[in-house]
Amino acid sequence: MSNIILGNNSVIEALKAGRPINKIIIERNKHNNHLKDIFLLARQQKVTVQEAEGQVLEKIAEGQKHQGVIAYVSPVEYAEVETIIALSKQSARQPLIVVLEEVQDPHNFGAIIRSCEAAGVNGIIIPQRRSCPITEVVSKSSCGAIEHMPIARVGNISQLIKKLKDSGFWIVAADMDGESLWTSKISFDFPVVLVIGGESKGVGRLTKTECDYVVSIPMLGKINSLNASVATALMIFEIVRKRT
């Protein structure tokens, strides 16, 4: 698959965001309110809508769930780190940026984007290597949130952290050995960069030494870690809660 997005919410959010769409294919004889919204938005933006049999959409989607709608789109463009920093400083809230260190599962990445958008995160930054890029699966898993979330790629996390510190941010790493975020006295009422580690290794040792704080989620059961997307959601919403 290349340059397509699947599913009702993903296509609707792409239309709302004004993302360039070449055409939309809708499954013939399929009717629901979401498809009515897609038809209306597409007509307003003069986007071509075609109908096709379900097996045609199945072939295009290559086994992914499509909910009866597929859109051919231009690729999502990565943002510049400087743009994310500038946008965060313009926000009415204290800036909050998320850095993902080697998150490789596209479903995790998409779910993280969705949570970040819902929590008002200003942007996400990922490394160019050993990290999941933006794909159709990521876009689908984000349920359209990717259309509203600036994402940047960098070659070196250490240099990124230095740049962010120079821009006035405090760097917070999420790690199981850190101070409990639930009982921490940190107010987070300052510009924050939250660093989340990959599924297998967590935040790297060198990265942790460069952070101002290391915090953790209390684990009361027999396992000692959470899925990266779940951990990210808990962390960012707890930061939002402490700020308010």
Render pLDDT for 205-224 as a digit per residue (tens, 0 to 9).
Answer: 888 889 999 998 888 888 77
CATH class of residue range 4-73:
alpha beta
| Fold matches, 4-73 and 81-243 | no
Residue 180 φ/ψ region, left for φ over 0, alpha for ψ in the -120 to 50 degree band, beta for the rest: beta
How does pLDDT run across 54-97, given as a tens digit for each residue? 889 888 888 888 888 999 987 778 999 999 999 999 988 999 99
| pLDDT for residue 196 is more than 90 | yes
**Prediction pTM value:** 0.81
Would you kindly state where each structural domain of the chain is located, as residue ranges? Answer: 4-73, 81-243
The CATH homologous superfamily to which domain 81-243 belongs is SPOUT methyltransferase, trefoil knot domain (3.40.1280.10)
- Selection from 173, 187, 41, 194 nearest residue 120 by Cα: 194
Q: How confident is the model at residue 2 (pLDDT cuts 50, 70, 90)?
A: low
C-beta separation of 47 from 108 below 8 A: no
Neighbours of 44 (CB within 10 A): 9
